[in-house]
Structure 1
Amino acid sequence: MFILKRQDVDIRTMHHPRKDQQIPILSYQGQTFRLLSVFTAAQEDDARALWRDLTDNRGKACVLLEEPERFSIWGKIRLEQADHDTGGDTGTPPAASVFITACLLMLQVLYMDVEDLLGGKQARQFEGDIAKVFTAWKFPQVATPDAVKKLLTIDPLAMSQLPPWQDHHLHRLLEEMHRMGKDYFGNANFADRALEALEDLSSNEQAQFRTWLQQSPAGKIWV
């Protein structure tokens, strides 16, 4: 529908009527859009491909927003729709539970390796670093240090409820985990160990997740 620059639009946040969180709203020429997906600057081709698929093949009214550090896709809504929406924080369903579980398993192994190999001080720094990622990219249900600690320590297979993260949250998490792993360990050897955590899943679930990883630009850096 539109390819826009940051100066072309107004972006603000509004409080979700049923959840304790803010949701971003983009306004352009009297039309209103909600965030659907976020890509890094290096993922321009993927962002444009998804935007074209949504607009040309699925008939969605979408904006592709170009910024220096990222690309984002926004879907058109009516404000009253946003006010009464009971879905996820961007109007998109959560990712498949097996994908959320798998990413949490990888995150926990990375955290445990930092603690075991580098010590408690570095583990606490890791907690702070991943909390900044959650805040910067508006991950639902991780607004407090206790919530972050829970995700780092409680087996996701035993969680009564997984966080309602969407695919774009998982893509961001995979990218940031890989970047942080290289920062902490100085190489990418941590990746194989993190992927070993997937052995807690069934064979079918492992196959589903690995296929998803291979199809995702953020996932390809892991396999």
Structure 2
Amino acid sequence: MIFVGRGSLLWRAVRAAHSRGHRVDLVCVSPSEGVPPDVADAPLLRTVNVNHDHARVLDAATDDVMWSIDNRTILRAPLIGSGLRIYNIHNGLLPEHRGLPEMAVIFCLLRGDTEYGASLHVVDEGIDTGPVLDLERFAVTPEDRFQDVMLAGVKACHTLFERNLDAVCEGTAVPVAPASRPDEYFGADRIRELIRLRDLPDTDRARFDRATALGVFGPLYPEIADAVSQPAR
């Protein structure tokens, strides 16, 4: 199987696949990605954009499974449509939390939502639009901050991977019933909406502060950190 992604979630998935006896054909990462010593023997492809290296990916594959884990690159043809079955672990419940998890978590908290989670879905030509195969939900409390929900989402992502790894490899994973909640996309442009909310006099300041308390994730999302650190006008 092929992996593409970054960070601890990716390497936890690689370890889990190894531990269950699955062959890891290639792990595709950015040029700057650090590789933990215990998985340093995994076949590695360092690439700025895995779509540009599709030939190397397809040549390396000994089966038809590809995992996208904490992957910021939108996968496109010819990887899409190549015969690979590509699966993404998404931090957020689909279809209501499509797009960037960091923005989805913020607006989940701003709206006072009581539930968040992670999704396993098939990758198609859209962004987080493929059939959903499994969901891992958890409760969100009024006291939760951004860091709390994001960390719980990361844990839910790995739970989904471990729970579905064998079924995906065996080709027995099937879509769940479509959600009744509306589809919503959270892109980087939602930062402008965040700034607008920051500056509104009737914004619930305590809730806004909880929703934007990035904590340990601050260095990962500098644009959000900069936007919310400015004083309200």
TM superposition score normalised by structure 2: 0.29
TM superposition score normalised by structure 1: 0.30
- Which structure has the highest helix share of the two? 1
